[in-house]
Structure 1
Amino acid sequence: MADTSDAPETPKPRRTRTAKAAEPGAPAPARRRTTKAAEQPALVDRGAAWCVVGAGPHGLSALKALLQNGIDADGYERESDVGGNWNYGAENSRVYESTHLISSKPFTQFPDFPMPDSYPDYPSHRQVKEYFGRYADHFGLRRRITFGADVVHAVPVDGGARWDVTVRSGGVETTYRYAGLVVGNGHNWNPKMPEYAGLDEFAGQVIHSADYKGAAVLRGKRVLVVGAGNTGCDVAVESAQNAAHTFHSTRRGYYYNPKFTLGRPSDQVADSLLAMRLPLPVRRALFGTTLKLVVGDITKFGLQKPDHKFFETHPIVNQQLVYYVGHGDITPKRDIDHFDAAGAVFADGSRADVDLVVFCTGYLVTFPFLEHQWLNWQGDHPQLFLQMFTPAYDNLIVSGLIQPDSGQWTLAHWQGILAARVAEALALKPQVAHRFLARANAEAGRRFSAGTEYKESTRHYFEVAHQEYLQALQDAIHELEESA
């Protein structure tokens, strides 16, 4: 849980001043660097340009949208290439050797840049990384991105009208002054490690899935996988194929959705039901019938009965876990009560002696270069208008703080478009932007759940029903365009 005890009080909301729009395609000025002996970073004023942090899908789409709307912009990426979390092998990438998409190609790709026809329904991480590279090349984004550049601090200046962004590259820090800031560096990189009694006494190896890269670490061992998200299920299946034995601990029961239903990717079948505007209870009944036919009664395999209805948790897309449970290669276990030197004791009193524990327990939302109050932090997470806009500053925008029930990059595209429309309005018609963003206080934290009550957990803070959220983004874009 993020510690906000030392955070200063939330300042009175500040509104940005009118800035002159940049000429489309205007080159960035030469960037000065300081010497290591300098006390203060050099300051480079970028005028009306905006800063975009991150070159994953959300950073790339935001940078593209800004540039296409005639707004000068610079991107910063701490790794050596584009891709964000999908840049396999990079220090902060969290994908592993066997990672594939869990949403199918047409529901995942950018709407203005389709994936190649040669890609399968569920592309691998290597294909995804290649796709992002092609996207960056096609839209000429690489020349606007500084790679190997870590944003270490960002602070509002001029009464909130602009942002000073300090970047460390090659051990040298430089501060750039921007008209606005788009934060698109993701929220699935800072591992959340659980606390259990006795864990310090455990004599085996403990890792988080953030550091899991492939099956080599599993081979020949007795493995305990903790967590039933998509990563936890993937790692448990991979462990079943390589380890001496696998135990899988979950707090509750879940629905395990197949990747294919009726010969089609299951998310495409689900979206067909949405297009028919079937009521939620009807869709739940249809999903329940389908799972009974395809998977069966999971309690007969020793798996826990779900304590919630369909769509109340983020969907788990894995049709192999039940298969390996049925073959005895995975032993389902309840939540952990405590550890001892040899292994884990579970809530039902059973135990498992293991050599390796893999915690697939998710990630903490972290923006280390921003103060919490600037993002309207409530408890251990920000609460934003449209999951993007803070009540504190009109020219501070977040892209990517979402966990959709379908593919994400279509939403990334439209978040980028909305960010560009707001930046454009701030520069040319600030009264339009201020009127739109004045709703940030009242609507911060609004959930886009399509009538579903999500289970309370950090995993669901940013869960959105993609069809409702997409409509909200489009409505906001139309509102700004009609007011311009």
Structure 2
Amino acid sequence: MAEPQNDSRPVAVIGAGPSGLASLKSLTDLGISCVAYESHSGVGGIWDIGNARSSVYQNTHTITSREVTGYADLPMDRALPAYPRHDQVLGYLRQYAERFDLLKLIRFNSDVTGVERLTDGWRVTTGDGEQHEHSALIIANGHNWHPYLPAFSGKFDGELLHSRDYTNAAALTGKRVLVVGAGNSGCDIAVEAAGVADHVAISMRRGYHFFPKFIFGKPADQVSESSQHLRLPPPVARAVYRTMLKLSIGRPEQFGLPKPDHEPLESPPIVNSLLPYYCAHGRVKVRKAPVRFDGKFVEFSDGTSEEYDTVILATGFRIHIPFVGEEHLDWVKERPDFYLLAFSPRYDDLFIAGMTDGTGGHFPTVELQSRVIAGYLAARRRDPEAARRFDDLKRSRSVDITGGINFLDSRRNLTQFELTTYLRILRDHLAVLGGQDTTYARRPSLLQQAAELLQGGRK
């Protein structure tokens, strides 16, 4: 890349949820022309329960606290609950879009049906047949909306639905309910069902560690962030987490739950202290993995069977990018194998924003990620040498975003990373591009947070 690249075509951002909004903000901050295509009539992505692709239900709350969830450029209002509800998150995203004048950049009700590779750039086709050319493409359509539906032998004669189609527990009143999957959604739904159903069971393939939402009266993720500032060796950090979980919740086996076969954080944390409570009270029964349906009976891997009226598949979601040909996305193990989960190894004008699942807030993570993407696009146009240095790093693929955590080889870990490690690597790459993470500099440091927590504990 010997000369600066001049291209008047705007960058296309697909999606106006949290990742799309962060991308638009980062691009406009650097004076890069951009436009977003959004299939729905408003911003928010899955956080808008009125969006046909939304996966939230009426009682959905964040599993990260208010301070950790919000963008650094616009902290969440302290008047919000410690763990905001989905409509409050949607209101916040609308506020973000309005504050930074992003709405004018979004083409609503514009479902992208196809993307074609040009000699230089991309052609986007929308559902109404319109076509537009763009200098670069940022995919920000999210990865928690397209249901993963496992195959079972036999046929279930009761009601069978995915967690994305679940709205509230009212329809489960007086029924026998099986929830398949013990992720955060599955545990939440099982707890809700236990309040109204005659019988509730949750199917778990393995044991998991359950994390509380509060420790010492503080949101648990803020305590975790503060402890991570100490940068303890992985074995010591694991011992600290094990001790913390035992003191705050106890061992899962005490409540009739299976013993975890992995260390804390090697699988996405289950932020739910109520499921162990309901299991201990016999309101939720733990079953093995289902293998076969027979009328209204479900047979499990241990050879037992039980009758149910409703089966809810809380089996997660698939990364689904239907508008871009697979040949452009370098799929490996059910996800695009992009550098830093964001940069195409094949093209220097193709990116994914928000294909991330760390232990902290998604919004600030994709905010920093989108800053690096925008910084790279700016460098391609104005600082070819900085872009070349970045390209060398991308080709070497020499970064490790696991932070020494041996993540389980499962679908749930396809987009996992260790948060502090990933953010540090993103900041390092931003520095290579000549940018500074001024947004994050305005956030309280982990040391400051730790001091505040200690001070609060002495009051």
Give the TM-score, by structure 2 length.
0.92
1:12 aligns with none
User: Structure 1 residues 19 and 72 mapped into 2: Cα distance closer, same or farther (>3 Å)?
Assistant: same
Q: Does 1:76 align with 2:62?
A: no
Determine what percentage of the aligned residue pairs are the same residue: 38
Q: Structure 2: how far apart are the matches of 1:297 and 1:388?
A: 37
State the distance in 2 between where 1:299 and 1:345 align.
23
RMSD, matched Cα: 1.8
Partner of 2:406: 453
The alignment status of 1:330 with 2:330, answered yes or no, reads no
Task: Give the letter for the 2:66 counterpart.
Answer: K
> Would the aligned equivalents of 2:375 and 2:435 in 1 still touch at CA under 8 Å?
no
Partner of 2:153: 197
Q: Which range moved further: 228-237 or 377-386?
A: 377-386
Q: After the TM superposition, which segments of 4 or more aligned residues of structure 1 sit over 6 Å from their partners?
A: none
Alignment of 1:90-129 (within 5 A): 90-129=51-90
How big is each residue's C-alpha offset from its partner over 1:241-277, in whole Å with a ceiling of 9 and x where there is no partner? Answer: 1211100000000111111111111111111211122
Contact 1:224 1:354 in 2 (8 A): yes
Name the residue aligned to 2:451: none
Q: Is the CA contact (8 Å cut-off) linking 2:255 and 2:277 kept in structure 1?
A: no
CA deviation string 1:190-244 (max 9, x = no partner):
100011122x2x2111000111121123222100000011111111111111211
Alignment of 1:49-198 (within 5 A): 49-157=10-118, 159=119, 161-168=120-127, 172-198=128-154
Aligned residue identity for 2:384? P
How many Å apart are 1:452 and its aligned residue? 0.7
The 3-state SS of whatever aligns with 1:352 is strand
C-alpha distance in 1 between matches for 2:300 and 2:9: 58
In structure 1, what residue type is equivalent to 2:284?
Answer: I
Which whole-Å CA distance do the structure 2 matches of 1:20 and 1:344 have between them?
A: 61
State the aligned residue count: 436
Q: What are structure 1's unaligned runs of at least 5 residues?
A: 1-14, 22-46
Q: What's the TM-score, normalizing by structure 1?
A: 0.87
Given the superposition, is the C-alpha separation of residues 174 and 430 from structure 1 closer, same or farther in structure 2, using an over 3 Å criterion? farther
Q: Which amino acid aligns with 1:234?
A: D
Residue of 404, 408, 422 corresponding to 1:469: 422
Q: Which of residues 204, 223, 228 is equivalent to 1:269?
A: 223
Q: CA deviation at 1:370?
A: 0.7
Once the two structures are TM-superposed, the CA of residue 380 in structure 1 deviates from its matched residue by 2.3
Give me the whole-angstrom Cα distance separating, in 1, the residues matched to 2:40 and 2:319.
19
Separation of aligned partners in 1, 2:323 and 2:117: 12
How far did residue 352 of structure 1 move?
1.7
Q: Partner residue of 1:354?
A: 308
Q: Which moved more, 1:391-400 or 1:128-137?
A: 391-400
Distance 1:17 1:374, change over 3 A: farther
Aligned equivalents of 2:329 and 2:378: distance in 1? Answer: 21
> Do 2:186 and 2:314's aligned partners in 1 also have CA atoms closer than 8 Å?
yes
* Equivalent residue letter for 1:125: H
User: Secondary structure in 1 aligned to 2:433?
Assistant: helix
**Counterpart contact for 1:105–1:123, Cα < 8 Å:** yes
The aligned amino acid for 1:367 is I
- Match of 1:437, SS state, is helix
Matched, 1:257 2:257: no
Shift of 1:298: 2.2
The question of 1:320 aligning with 2:274 is answered yes
Change (3 A) 1:106 1:389: same
Output the amino acid matched with 2:352: V
Indicate conservation of the 8 Å contact 2:163/2:314, yes or no: yes
- 1:431 CA displacement: 4.5
CA contact (8 A) 1:247 1:352 kept: no
SS in 1 for 2:112: strand
Displacement after TM superposition at 1:17 (Å) = 8.6
Say which of 169, 185, 189 aligns to 1:235. Answer: 189
Residue 20 (structure 1) aligned with residue 6 (structure 2): yes
